Structures are given as structure tokens and as C-alpha cells.
Amino acid sequence: MHPWAWLAALCQMFLTAAALAQNDAGAGSTYFSNHCYSCHHQPGGSAVALTGRLSLVTSSGLSSAITAAIGQPPSDPSGGAMGTANADSTVLGNLAAYFRTTVPSASIAVSTGYYNNDPVISGYPQAVTQSPALSLKATCSTTGAVPFSIAAGQSSAVVNGLLAGESCSISEEADPAGGALSWGYRFGNKGEATFSQNQPFTLGAGATNSIAVNNAIHGPTAAVLHLTAGFANNTPAHASPTTPIAFVVHCTQRSADIQSSFAANASFDVGNLAQGDSCTVTGSIGAGATQPSGGYTFGVFSYTPSQTVSLNSATIPLTLTNTLITPSASVQISLAYSNNTPNHVTTAPSLGVQLVCSLSGTVNANLATGAAATVNNLLAGETCMASETSIGGEALSANYTLSHTPTFSPSNNLTLVAGSGNSLTVTHAVIAPGAAQFLMQDPLTFAAEVGGSDTKATTISNTALAGSAFLHLTGLAFTDPQYSFAPGNGCTSTTELQPVKQPCSLVITFTPAAPAPQPNMPEQRYGTLIVTYDAAGSPATLHLNGIANPAPSPSIQISDAMPAIADTYLGSTTTLQPITVTNGPSATAALLITGLTLSDVAAADYALAAGTGACAVDSSLAKGDSCTITIQFTPSQLGTRSAKLTIANNMPASLPNATPVVTLAGKGIAVPAPLLSIVSPTPIHFGNRTVGGSYQPQLLTIANTGTAALLISAVQVTGAGFSTTDSCAPSIAAGAQCQLRIQYRPTTAGQADSGSVTITSNAAGSPLVVALDGSGVTYTAPVFVWSAASLDFGNVSAGSPSAPQTLTIQNMGPGDATLTLVNVTGVDAVNFVLNLQGCQLNQTVVQGASCTVSVQFVPTASGSRRATLQWSSSGSAPTPVVLQGTGLAGVAAQLALSSGALDFGSVRVGAASLPQELVLQSQGSSLLHVTAITVSTPYQLLSKDCAEPPFDLAPGLQCKLVLGYAPAAAGTASGTVHIASNSAQMVPDVALSGLGQPPAEVSGGGCSLASGRTVFDPMLLLLALAAAGVLLLRQWRSRRGAGAGAANRREQRP
């Protein structure tokens, strides 16, 4: 072609485009009436009818159709009036506008719907309180792109101005905006939308076209509250470890409370909770509980970390602690005398006694003259140190006095028992005239930190009158090694004290030993010094009351030990909420951070970010100050990525939570990407087709099963006889599909043709090639026809089977054909169950005969599911049948066991039981994820057809464990099988029981009927007789055989 001709053609294109903007349907009608009507108005004319044809509503379509009809190029004037029309772009445009008015109009009613894309958590109902706004687009083969929307709060829209017969697809152009859902739920993105029918679809005339856009709804992430229980003030054990602990869990967003109970020495996982909710746990002692022993009673519950917890991770631990109430005790205090024969006390003194008790504190008692006293409201189990605080008012015989220092019986250090069974006797010696009189100031009080010391002094003196006897100290002994004599001590076991002379100085040091007390909790460290001497009242006791103070210590606190981490795309980075580290209000020293260490298998996926106020190694925090740790998560692999952050510091290791550990469990997810999948049968087999025959095309369904838009850049069909007139939209949204009609018209008989469909896109592995094959024959190949083009099973609960639907296929002839293949294909094929019924492989189906198959829909999870049913034979292949249905979310994953207990009976030690089976079945609506199987000894897991944990079981599937029992000792043996999974309902451990019997006694000689120690064993006799019988039988048979042989030889002689 001459270069100027190209330029002319290009100008003509621009002129045509400009003219189309001013197309006049009236002018086109007039032109058609004047120049075309007589031949092209309707069938029966001398040429092909033009009115009512969808292909002629554009000038380009009209031009090509007219060019083909007259067999002349548009510029050839021999075309007459038609040629003139082709040469005039304005006329073409007007004709196209007129032809559009002759094609029936069509519209599409688009409605909205929803499906749960996540398992529903019981107690968190899902409701769409306001539908979101949707931005949509209809892309039609003739009309082009028609954007439209459905406003928030509306459920449908109608797309008008379309043409009957054209092919259209509906796509969601933006993520759903606005709208409102129940707490914890959110709308999915545009790529998760599904459609109620295949796309593109051909429009019928009028308002007969409808399609539903089903947007995904994501529910809250499941959480488990892991409850444990225990008792405080329970040493020794007063409460039974199997005491039932009842509880009520009330959550802010949950529709109903959860109530149950468990044994105090066990644990309980409360499921059906949602992350992000806040729950309050209230504990109580369950019905039928046995009261604690020793007079103790149940008290109130405390909760660790707190009674109300935020569900910010998959598992939240919480401990319920019941503090037992200690029973009360009382002490009877009385006064006695020693060295008082005959009685020299004429008037008893009044007495003041002080008890310093470990729980009740300091209690004072006064004994009136000659009376006793009772101290009540003390606590059983506590220790009380007794000392005398005053004495006076006594009267004795002439020149007799009472000793200054009393003794206590049974001891000045009492451990109280419940009730009134505690007594204390205060004894004073009666000092005769002229005898020595011992006086020691009592008690001494100390205070020191562990590692330090405190020194205190008192005196010992002889207070007798001048001229009285000397006082000789004979021994001084401490009862606690934390006390010792200090430099300057002048009282020893050889000290002699004169009456009314200078006393000796008693100097004592208190050095508290490790372990150190808890922060802000000083400890009493009682001790005594026993002093013996050669006068009445010996020995005397000096009470040493030491207070061990905690060493200065920081008090580290962290704001979150299990931070929530959003699912993160591989290679992307998520920054967590900062974790605050504080030197708490109970601190008595600065907090020094000595290390920040990431560890565990995925430590490399986490990093600490720098910034203002960030915690750093060797940084110091005063009391009440804080710093922050910001963690960044960049997953390198899919799935949960576990790590730990250890915060080393100068808090003493003996203190609880001295070295906090932050648990990290982020999840790496795949980067959004398209994935091109063929959901119709491949390769496409066309079978035998008659050369020149007319056949229906086969459908090739392309699906985007990825998470981003699939961009199709080219679709190419190659191979003799293979073709397509379709093309996919340039962009296929995630979850959407496109269908290509592939035609095969053989050109040569007796030849096997092969070809391919090549689809080039932005998906990994592009281009994708689908093989085609067929054969041309001269005879007419039998044609098979299905009774229906599709089966729609509607909505079916996930994990449940639908009612079966039947299909009949008939051989329309001519001739017989042999069946070679019937199956279900596609990415969702596992959701459909095929029963061949009357159709059997290798079966010959004669002309006119038919057979039936049935299909059931068993969705493995919620959401739309599609597959195709294909048939292959020696005849022509029919169009595959489309199978579709929607799975409805029911209960979440659920584990069911074939038995809750297995009894292996009696088995001897050293032997093994018969094996027993335990079947695990997935009965929920989503995948059951089993993470661990644990069998306690002496029971063993012998074999299994379950996969090695962790593994998944789809709804309705099952696997089994084979268990055995091999006792190692005699007696009853109990055990359990524990199966950890994501089952929404707690599944109790399977109880295992068996009885080990003592091993059989085996003697060196084998079996025996004898008992005890005897020379004669009847079993040996029986064995000897049996052996003799066997020998006699063998000899008889040997002789008989020899005789028969001789007879035979005689008969054979000539």
C-alpha cells in the first residue's frame, strides 16, 4: 500500500470517531428506508437482515459487515448505495445509531449479599446493621464500561441502557466503604467479592437479567482464656487439690456469659471468645466441695494478672487464687514461782505480758493480782514471742524478793494451734535474803538488710543488797546463728558480778542471712540468748527481735508481655505498639537495663527501633520513671513467627518476674498477587467431529484465585481447526472468573488435530498453556447431550451433604459410542461428590440410549464453590456441566472422639495388651487444626493414620490412633490421651485405664503342677509318659511300613 493510502486511512478513522459523537438515528432511519430497506429489512429479503443485529450498533461493526456482505472494499464504487455508505463516516454513524434502536434494550438488576469468610465464634452474632457503599462497573461487549454504585444502606441497583444479546461482566472497583456490622466484624476487600453466576454472561431482553454481588465478612479472631486455680495460706495443705472451682466469664461484647467449673489442680480453656474483647472472671467454690481441714475455711478469690483482662492475643492466662481463712486461737497466761518452799509470796504481783505475733502483730495482756489472763482473736499457725513488760505490787516474807527476769513455759516462742489449747506460764524465782539477784534488760530489737548488720547492747547486773552473794555467769548461748557477740562484749561464761557494782555490758550483732525478703516486706528473724548463772531463776532468756529489711531493689514493670501483632505481608514491616518499661512505685533503687535480647526460632524477623525515650542497654531509670521499647516485625516466612524479647536488669533474680520476657507471635502472610487457575477440565478433548459439522463450543473457565487483580494481556489459540471469538476483560478481580468459548471445526478427515490456548498475564508462571485435541472424521460422530447445563445446589451448611441431584446424558447418534471418562474437575472439585450410578466406564452407549449420574454438594467451608462435570467418549464431547453451591458457616472447627475412655483390662507385667483404636473426626464447618497428641505412660501410641502434628482435617474427615498398654509394675494404672486443637468446644482428655498383674512365676524346668518345695513333680511324670508314647507310636509305624514294602516286593517278582 502506498504511504499516502495509510495516511488517508488514518484520517478516515479520526473523521469516523468525530462523526460518531454526532450520530443521528433519525437520519440513519431515513437513509436505511431510502437505500437499504427493500433488501435488508427482514428475513426473506434478497440479502441478510440488518435491523435488530447487535453487531451493527457501531460504525466499525457496520462497515465490516457491509464490506463482507457485498464482497467489495468500501472504496469500490461498484457497491452502489452500499459502497457510498461505506465511504461516508457520517452515514455509517447515523446507520449505527438507527440500528441500535432496533435492538431490544436490556438492564441488569444488581443486588448485594454477604458471606462469612471466617469461622463464626459462638456468642458474637454477625449482623449487617447498615450495608456499605459499593463502587461497581458493568463491562459489556457492545455498550462498553458503565460505572454505577449502590449507596450505603441500599441493597440493589439497576444498570439500564444495555442491549439484549451483548456479553457483560460486573466488577467491584473499590473496597466496600462505610456500612456497619456487629462488633468485631468487618467487610472484606473488593478482591474477595463473589458473584452469583459465571461472568461474562449474555443479556436477555428487558429486565430479565440479575446478578448478586456477595461481599466477604470477616469475623473476630478467636481467643482462649486459660484458667488455672490454687490456694493461698494453705501450708500444709488444708484444701483438697480436687476442690471444684466454679467460674463465670462475662465479656463486654459477648451476648451471654460462660459458666463452668474445674478441679483446682487442673486447668480450663474457655473458648468461644474473641480477641479485642474485655472479659471479667468471677470465681467461687463449686458445689459439693469438701471444707478445708484444721478448722480452715474458704476465703475470697484474687486474680492474676487481674480479674478483668483484655483479650489481646490467642491465649490469655488467668489464675484464680482462694486465700484460706485461718482459724482463731487463744492463749491462757498464768503466773508461777520457783524456789518458793515454803510459800514466801504473801501477795501476788500484777503482771504485764506482751505477745509479738507473726500475723496478729503486738498484743498486750495484764494479769491482775493473783489472776490469769486469756488473749483471744489470735490465728492458728502463727508464732508469738512472749516477753514481760511490767511486774509490781507483790509482797513476800521478810527480805525475800522476786527475780527480775522470768522464765516462760513451755517456751517464750509459741506456735499456736486452733482453739484454746495454748498456754503460757510466766515463772519468777523467789530470791532468799543474801542471795544474788540477776537482772538483764530484755528484749533487744535489731534492723538490718541482708548482707549488712546491726549491733545493740544491754547489761547484766547483780541487784542484790550490799553484802549479798556474788553472781557468777556460767553460760551464754544463742539459739540462732544470725546473732553473735560483737566487739566490746563484756559478759562471758566466767563473769563474776558483785552486788551493787558495775554491770557487765552485753553487746550483740544481728547479721540477717539470705534469702532476702520480698520488696517492701520486712521479715521477723527471732532469736534468743540463753544465760545461765548460779542463782535462783537460772536460766534467763534474752529475746532478740531482728527485722531483716529487703536490700534496695528496683521494681520492673512492663505494659504488655504478649503484644498484639497484625498479620504482615512477607517483606513488609509492621511496627508494634510501644511497650513501656517502668521502675514501679515499690522500687527502692534505680532500675538498670543490662540487656535487650531477641531469641527463639524467628528472632531474625524482629528488630528494636530506636527513638526518643527508647530503652537502651545500660540506661538507668529512677523510681517512677519509664522508657519504651518499639519492636518491628518483618516476616521472612509464611505462618506464625515466634520469638522472645528478654529484658535483663539489676533486679535480684530471687524476686518474681525479675527478668521479664515479652512473647512475640506475629504471622507472615502472602503478598497480594494474582493466581491464574483453570477451573474447567483440561486438556480440552473435543473427541471425534465430522468435517463440516456444526457443534457447540467447549467452555474454558479462567479464574483469578489469587489476592490481586489478574491482568490479561493476550489470549492466543493455535492449531488447525481450533478458534475462539471471545476475549477476557483486561482485568479480572480476585475471586472473579472469565469464560472463553473454544470451537473446533476439523478441516481434514482421519487426522488427529492438536492445538493450544495460550494466556499471557501478570500471574506467576505466565504464559499458561491449555492443550486442545480432537479428530476429524468423515462419518457423523455420535453427539451426547446432558439433560441440564448446570446444577445449582444453593446454600448448604459447611460440612453437611446436600440432597443429591441427578443428570441424564443421552447419545443422540448417529451410532454407538464408548464411555472413557466421567469426573469432576476444578479447584473446588473436592466439594462435589460424584456417583456414576448407571454410567460405567468402558460402557457402550447405543444411539438413543442414556444413563444417569448423581452429584452431591459437601462444602468444606463457607463461601461460593464451583466445579465442572466432564464426559469423554469415542463420540463428540458435550459441553461440561457447571456445578455450583454456597457453603454456609455453621459452628467453627470441632473435634469429635470415638470414645471418652479406653479400658485395657488386666495385663501381666512384661506383656502387652491388645491394641485399641481411637478415632478423631472433624465435625465443624472449617478445618480442624491438630497441634499435638500426647499419650501418658505406661500407655503407648502404637501406630496412626493421622499425619504427624500439626495437621489439618477437613470437615467430615477422620483419622485414627492405635493405642497399647504395657505395664511396668503391678497395680492400677491410669493415663490420658490429650489432643490439642482449635476445636471451638473443649474436648476432655481421653481417660486410659488398665490393671497390671504380677508376672507369672517361671521355673527352670518349664511347666509344673507341683507347689512348694517337693521332690516329686506330677508334671514331669506326665511329660515322661507322653514322650514314651510318641516313641512307641513311631516304632509301630516304622514296622508297619517295612512289612508293607516287603509285601509289595513279593508281588513284583516274576
> What local confidence, expressed as pLDDT, does residue 758 receive?
94
Phi, psi at 673, each rounded to 5°? -155, 145
Mean pLDDT of 756-785: 89
Residue 1049 three-state SS: helix
Q: What is the mean pLDDT of residues 1032-1039?
A: 54
Domain ranges of the chain: 3-102, 105-218, 223-323, 327-433, 436-551, 556-669, 676-888, 895-997
Per-residue confidence band for 366, with pLDDT thresholds at 50, 70 and 90 = very high
Cβ–Cβ under 8 Å, residues 482 and 511 = yes
Mapped onto helix, strand or coil, the DSSP state of residue 1044 is: helix
User: Could you tell me which residue, 214 or 116, shows the higher pLDDT?
Assistant: 214
Look at 1006 and 731; give whichever has higher pLDDT.
731
Question: Residue 58 has what pLDDT?
Answer: 66
- DSSP assignment of 676-737 equals EEE-S-SSEEEEEEETT---PPEEEEEEE-SSS-EEEEEEEEESTTEEE-----SEE-TT-E
**Which phi and psi angles does 92 have, rounded to 5°?**
-60, -45
Residue 531: its pLDDT value, please?
96
Average pLDDT for residues 12-35, to the nearest whole number? 60
| 676-888 belongs to CATH 1.10.760.10 | no
Task: Round to whole Å and give the CA distance between 760 and 767.
Answer: 4
**1028 CB contacts (<8 Å, ≥6 apart)?**
none
The mean pLDDT of 730-744, rounded to a whole number, is: 87
The least confident of 66-80, 313-327, 393-407 is: 66-80
Closest Cα partner for 962 from 984, 978, 945? 945
Please tell me if the domain spanning 436-551 has the same topology as the one spanning 556-669: yes
Query: Packing angle between helix 89-102 and helix 3-20, nearest 10 degrees?
Result: 40
| Residue 74 pLDDT | 45
Check pLDDT > 80 for residue 816. Answer: yes
Q: Which of 28-32, 208-212, 253-257 bottoms out in mean pLDDT, i.e. has the lowest?
A: 28-32
Domain 327-433 has CATH 1.20.1340: no
Which one is the CATH code of 556-669: 3.40.50.720, 2.60.40.10, 3.90.550.10, 3.40.50.2300?
2.60.40.10
Task: Report pLDDT for 812.
Answer: 85
Give the pLDDT band of residue 307 (cuts 50, 70, 90): very high
Tell me the average pLDDT across 299-310: 92
pLDDT digits (tens, 9 = 90+) for 931-946: 889 999 899 998 888 8
d(CA 390, CA 354): 9
Q: Could you tell me the pLDDT band of residue 487, with boundaries at 50, 70 and 90?
A: very high
- Per-residue model confidence (pLDDT) at position 3: 43
- Answer with the residue of higher pLDDT: 973 or 69: 973
- Which is more confident, 1001 or 910? 910
Report the share of the chain in percent with pLDDT over 70: 87
pLDDT of residue 21: 42
pLDDT at 697 over 80: yes
Say which CATH class 436-551 falls into.
mainly beta
Task: Report the pLDDT value the prediction gives residue 66, as an integer from 0 to 100.
Answer: 59
CA 969 vs. chain centroid, Å, equals 39
pLDDT level of residue 1043 (50, 70, 90 thresholds): very low
Question: Among 232-246, 513-527, 528-542, which stretch is predicted with the lowest mean pLDDT?
Answer: 513-527
Burial group, residue 1046, by CB count within 10 angstroms (0-12, 13-18, 19+): exposed
Q: Which CATH number fits domain 105-218: 1.25.40, 1.10.3470, 2.40.10, 2.60.40?
A: 2.60.40
| Average pLDDT rounded to a whole number, residues 21-38 | 72
Question: How confident is residue 557, by pLDDT bands cut at 50, 70 and 90?
Answer: very high
Q: How far apart are CA 1052 and CA 430, in angstroms?
A: 138
Model confidence at 4, pLDDT cuts 50, 70, 90, reads: very low
Among the residue ranges 244-253, 495-504, 651-660, the one predicted with the least confidence is 651-660
Q: Encode pLDDT of 608-643 as tens digits.
A: 998 888 999 999 999 999 999 999 999 999 888 999
In this prediction, residue 1011 carries a pLDDT of 38
pLDDT band at 1029 (very low <50, low <70, confident <90, very high): low
Inform me whether the pLDDT recorded for 68 exceeds 70: no
Arithmetic mean of pLDDT, 54-75: 56
β-pairing, 222-232 vs 315-323, is: parallel
Least confident of 11-25, 185-199, 541-555: 11-25
Q: How confident is the model at residue 729 (pLDDT cuts 50, 70, 90)?
A: confident
pLDDT-derived band at 829 (thresholds 50, 70, 90) equals confident
Domain 895-997, CATH number (from 1.10.10.10, 3.40.50.300, 2.60.40.10, 1.10.3720.10): 2.60.40.10
- Taking residues 197-219, report their average pLDDT: 88
pLDDT at position 61 is 60
Is 495:474 a contact under the CB 8 Å cutoff? no
Q: Are 402 and 428 in contact (CB under 8 A)?
A: yes
Secondary structure (3-state) at 864: strand
Name which of 81-85, 379-383, 700-704 the model is least confident about.
81-85
Task: Report pLDDT for 281.
Answer: 96
Is the pLDDT score of 60 beyond 50? yes
Q: What is the overall mean pLDDT for the chain? A: 84
Give the distance from CA 912 to its chain's centroid. 37
* Residue 674, number of CB atoms within 10 A of its CB: 24
As a whole number of angstroms, the distance between CA 714 and CA 728 comes to 9
> What is the model's pLDDT at position 10?
39
In terms of Cα–Cα distance, which of 405, 372, 373 is closest to 389?
405
Long-range contacts of 55-60 (CB under 8 A, 24+ apart): 56/95, 56/96, 56/99, 57/96, 57/99, 57/100, 57/103, 57/142, 57/163, 58/20, 58/96, 58/142, 59/16, 59/19, 59/20, 59/89, 59/92, 59/93, 59/95, 59/96, 60/16
Instruction: Give the pLDDT of residue 677.
Output: 86
The predicted pLDDT at position 205 comes to 86
Does position 1017 have pLDDT exceeding 80, yes or no?
no
Residue whose grid cell is 524476686: 655
Inform me whether the pLDDT recorded for 1047 exceeds 60. Answer: no
- Check whether 818 has a pLDDT greater than 60: yes
Scan for cell 498479620, then name that residue.
567
263's grid cell: 478441679
Q: What is the DSSP string of 602-641?
A: TGGGEEEEP-TTB--TT-EE-TT-EEEEEEEE--SSSEEE
* 3-class DSSP state of 151: coil
- Enumerate residues 6+ apart whose C-beta is below 8 A from 317: 226, 228
Q: What does the alpha-carbon distance between residue 487 and residue 493 come to, in Å, rounded to a whole number? A: 16
Residue 404 has pLDDT above 80, yes or no: yes
The pLDDT > 90 percentage for the chain reads 40
Highest-pLDDT range among 277-281, 446-450, 966-970, 1039-1043: 277-281
Predicted confidence at residue 8, as pLDDT, reads 40
Walk across the sheet containing 454-462 and list its strands.
Answer: 438-440, 454-462, 504-510, 483-485
Q: Is the pLDDT of residue 544 over 70?
A: yes
Does the pLDDT at position 70 exceed 50? no
Question: Is 223-323 assigned to CATH 2.60.40?
Answer: yes
